[in-house]
Structure 1
Amino acid sequence: MNVLERLSVVSKITELLESAKVAQPLERLSIMPNIFDLFSKLGVSFSADNEEEQKSVRTPDQVSNDNNALFEKYLAGGFNDESVEDFKQTMHKVNDLGLPFDSVKDGVISWFTANEDQIAA
């Protein structure tokens, strides 16, 4: 792949990442595989464990509406007012129900941002 092709791929990744920032939580789930594919074109490899995890993640169509509502609330910061212990339980629950790791991580970052005072304690 020549330099111009690589720049084009990087540009596409940037566009997808920007659209993921403003996308609804479930829309982000459909954007992420495209980003992973583009990174692969650049030669960025993902560990075998991560690839297996991505294959085992259920799509939004495969989970119930209740789970989708829970995922949306989690990704929107709806649990940011929970105590540390309660949030840990919520985080494990959405992970166990099939929310992709990167999305679980986004929720944790949101909780930490909203609860900086608890982190310093």
Structure 2
Amino acid sequence: ESEQWVSQVAADADAPFLVCEKIRSGDRDVTISIPNAPAFLDRQPVLVDDIASSGRTLAEAARQLVGMGFARPDCVVVHPLFAGDAAQVLGGLVERIVSTNAVAHTSNDVDVMPAIAEAVRHGI
């Protein structure tokens, strides 16, 4: 499911991509594997997530990337819910977080409202 979104972002950014494999054992318990990541050690990692709630998935992926020798990743989030202690969970693990304004958050830097207005104007 994630590959369709990640591949489009990567294509638009003219960048290679990998898709993390996630096993969720509960709301706050995730296991991540990042196959073939070492092949891209010379690149700045960017984690793309559609919904970030607890921040645990991004944190675990970032932890693994840094453990492999990557720089702290940038994160791009479509719906930045960031509930509870998500900011503390991500603190120090990621370089920066950029999100859309689909949900108000201090990381909002991508305005989706023009696209939504355009869809409404054209009858969705």
Q: Could you say which structure has the higher strand fraction?
A: 2
Q: What TM-score do you get using the length of structure 2 for normalisation?
A: 0.29
Q: Could you say which structure has the higher helix fraction?
A: 1
Q: What TM-score do you get using the length of structure 1 for normalisation?
A: 0.30
Higher normalized contact order (CA 8 Å, seq sep 6+, divided by chain length): 1
